[in-house]
Each structure stands twice: as structure tokens, then as C-alpha cells.
A and B are shown apart, each in its own frame.
Chain A
């Protein structure tokens, strides 16, 4: 879903830094799925995302 990273648009050759940022965003968004959301959310337990496991 989030394959399009900031790195692809970066022409300043600081790809290492931007890649780290984009990975953090992906991890944060994926981890948000595991958040409860409360009683009225209708959510159920989801596994927490691990970037190293997906790679």
C-alpha cells in the first residue's frame, strides 16, 4: 500500500534520511491498526506491524 516512498521524489541525494522517515510513517500507520479504538469502534485484535518481519 505504501510502496511510494518520499525517497522516489528526493533529488538531494539524502536518500538514507528520507527512507528512514518514510519507514517510520509506514510503521506508525500500520501500528495504528492495532490500537483499540474503544468499545464502539468494532475493532478486533490485530497483530502489530514489524518492518523487519515484512522485509
Chain B
């Protein structure tokens, strides 16, 4: 099926998107068009993280690779939170920060679930969890790319977190 090769192009598109987003925010920052440090930090950290994870994992997919991807997501999430406290501690949280943290957390949970199922439990044949993981990771990554570029709360996630945490807009 053509869908078997779909992930290959999506993976490349996501990394390209993160690099384009970081270049966009670097140029905006240098030209003083929009000095959005949060978007710049999120885009740069994600671009570096996704590139490193692709460079350091083997081309042949093994079930053990899921735990490496899980660790990459956890470290990336920690790096974004650390950047927030170092660079923009007192600033209002932007959509890119909220969406990147949520997206990375969702991806990390899915990678861990896939590692437990395929490596620890030894499942060999794809089932509902695998299809759910496959589609969700693609959707979440594409949403992260869009939000890092546009910095808009188009799913209402930021509004929801503000209401849940009783934060002022």
C-alpha cells in the first residue's frame, strides 16, 4: 500500500518544517520584526532534537528504538521547560510553548506504550494501538510544526489550560 511509504515523507516534512520555523523566527529576531523568543526557542530546540534523533537511530526500525524516541521526547520537553525558566520566565505563555509541551508529552506516552507492547510484551503484528500511534504521531507533529510557525491557538488548547489553571490572559 502507498500508506506504507507515507511516514517516510511525513518524517522528512516535519524536520524541514521545524528548520524553516527556526529560520523564520531567527530572521524575524535579527530584523526586529517580531522578537518572539518563545517561538524561536521552541522551533530551534525541536529542530535540533528531531534531527539528532534521526541521525542517531538506525535505518532499520527495531522495537527497541521506541525507548530512544521516548527519551528524546522527555529530554526535549525538559529542554523547552528549562529554556522557559532561563529565557522567558515571567512572560505570558505563548501558544507554541503550550502546544509543544503537550505534543511532546503525547508523543512520549505513545512511544512508551509502543515500546512496552512491541519490545517488552513481544507483539509482532500491528493492531489498534499501533494504528492509533501511527496516525496520532503524524497529526501531533504536523500540528506542532503549524503552531511553531503561526503561533496561534487554533485548537483552543491554550484557552483550555488557562481555564483549568485559572490563569489570566
Contacts and interface: CB of A to CB of B under 8 A. Distances in A.
Interface of A: 1, 32-46, 48
Given A32-B5, A32-B8, A43-B134, A38 B15 contact: yes
B57 A42 contact: no
- For chain B, give the interface size range: 20 to 34
A13 to B, nearest CB: 34
B137 interface: yes
Contacts of A1: 1
5 contacts: A34-B60, A37-B8, A38-B15, A39-B57, A42-B137
Interface stretch (B25-33, B62-70, B155-163): B62-70
Instruction: State the 8 A-B residue pairs at the shortest beta-carbon distance, nearest first.
Output: A41-B7, A41-B11, A40-B14, A38-B11, A42-B137, A42-B134, A36-B61, A38-B54
B62 A42 contact: no
B166 interface: no
Contact of B141 (A40, A43, A45, A46): A40
Contacts, number: 81
A23 B15 CA distance: 33
A41 B133 CA distance: 10
Interface string B38-65: 0000000000001001100111111101
Contacts of B60: 34-36, 48
A1 B4 CA distance: 13
A33 to B, nearest CB: 5
A44 B133 contact: yes
Given A32-B8, A33-B4, A35-B8, A40 B50 contact: yes
B138 interface: yes
Contacts of B141: 40, 42
Contacts of B169: none
Given A34-B60, A35-B61, A46-B61, A40 B5 contact: no
